Chains A and B, each alone.
Chain A
Amino acid sequence: MEEKVESKKPQWAMVIDLDRCTGCEACVVACHAENNIRIAGEGPAAGGRSVNWIRVERYYEGEYPDIRVKFMPVMCQHCEEAPCEPVCPVYATYHTDEGLNGQVYNRCVGTRYCANNCPYTVRFFNFLDPVWPEPLSKSLNPEVSVRYRGVMEKCTFCIQRIRKGEDKAKDEGREIRDGDVNPACVQSCTARAMTFGNIADPTSEVARLSKSGRASRLMEELGTKPRVTYLSRGD
């Protein structure tokens, strides 16, 4: 048997350069398309039930006319010390050996404790079954679950694309390397603001960028140790 548990698993991480990010939201639609994210519809959206695994936060600074705006894409930060994990009574949210914050839909019983405990508000609960009027359902990605009523969902760093990248590397009999895996948001990014890779590999682009002088992590003070690093805007 060749497929043994490797001693050193890749450790997935992301770096987002806020100086490049334009707030265009290409990542948001890319994520919807890749991950079978439901269309809430106007009514449920008005009730705060639209789902966005990745969203673009916006902050105004200053007063007219000297006003500036900051955009910041926010998705699951895949915290090393994830507050959502210990509160799950059924281990539906857990930490993988690749440093991902995993979510097992058919373990989830819908307590919503995890969402309650997430400081980044990136977890979304399915209050209703999704509706995909025919033939819209044909655009569903066959590599991703279609979530149903009663379970929690959130960004997976496109686990299906990670598996595909790992499969390719194995086919070629080599270790995973930069460029093998890109989540849908990173792939689409129109200003190349996002970088994804194995932070355990010191030669990777994410490892290099996460040591930048502009680097910081969201709400670091909480001790969550996010796997997403932000590079601040310059002036």
Chain B
Amino acid sequence: MRSWKVVLILLALAAVSVVFLSGIIGKPFEPAQPIAFDHWQHTSKQGEDTPKLECTDCHENADKSRFATIPNVSKCMICHETMKTESPEIQKLAAYSSRSEQPPWKRVYWIEKEADVFFTHKPHIRAGVDCTTCHGQVNQMHRVKRDVDHSMGWCIQCHRENRVSVDCSICHR
């Protein structure tokens, strides 16, 4: 009897949390960033003097590390020392650089620490997963928004479809 009650309560709680979570996650999360960095302009804009960068040109550790990493300001300044220096946003960037500071970028995607998930970029890049699979069409975005719901079911579905291990200890440890 008792265990039935526990199960019922848990189910009810699960339903409540699903409602709350979907309410929050349903709205695209699109934080304002300290510098209005435009991904589209750097990757997809057509034209003669556009850089047409690959994701890993700036997020250069996606194939080496657990983290794709955010480029250091010094990396931005390789080009912007001379390019578009008249832009107020680039001037903000230059100001950070001259103070040897990093802009306080806001995270768009993260996994709660309590989820005990140890996601690692490296093996996904090694397996040829395209960045957009998990991050959406960032290359078409002017301001990055959270486009993909990184729920456990979503991870597992992809792992199943691609016949990759779905052992719990692949992600949780």
Q: Footprint of B on A, CB under 8 Å?
A: 1-5, 94, 96-98, 100, 102, 104-107, 143-145, 148, 156, 159-160, 163, 167, 170-171
Contacts and interface: CB of A to CB of B under 8 A. Distances in A.
A160 B120 CA distance: 12
Contacts, number: 62
Interface of B: 114-116, 118, 120, 122-123, 126-129, 162-165, 167-170, 172-173
Contact of B169 (A1, A100, A143, A167): A100
B173 A159 contact: yes
The majority secondary structure among interface residues of chain A is loop
A169 to B, nearest CB: 12
A96 B170 CA distance: 10
Contacts of A98: 167
Contacts of B168: 94, 96, 102, 104, 107
B118 A104 contact: no
The majority secondary structure among interface residues of chain B is loop
Nearest to A106: B116
Residue picked from A107, A145, A156, most chain B C-beta under 10 Å: A145
Given A105-B172, A143-B173, A160-B173, A5 B164 contact: yes
Given A2-B127, A3-B126, A106-B114, A159 B164 contact: no
Contacts of A171: 126
B123 to A, nearest CB: 6
Contacts of B122: 167
Residue picked from A98, A107, A159, most chain B C-beta under 10 Å: A159
Contacts of A94: 168
A97 B123 CA distance: 19
B118 to A, nearest CB: 6
A96 B167 contact: yes
A4 B167 contact: no
Contacts of A102: 167-169
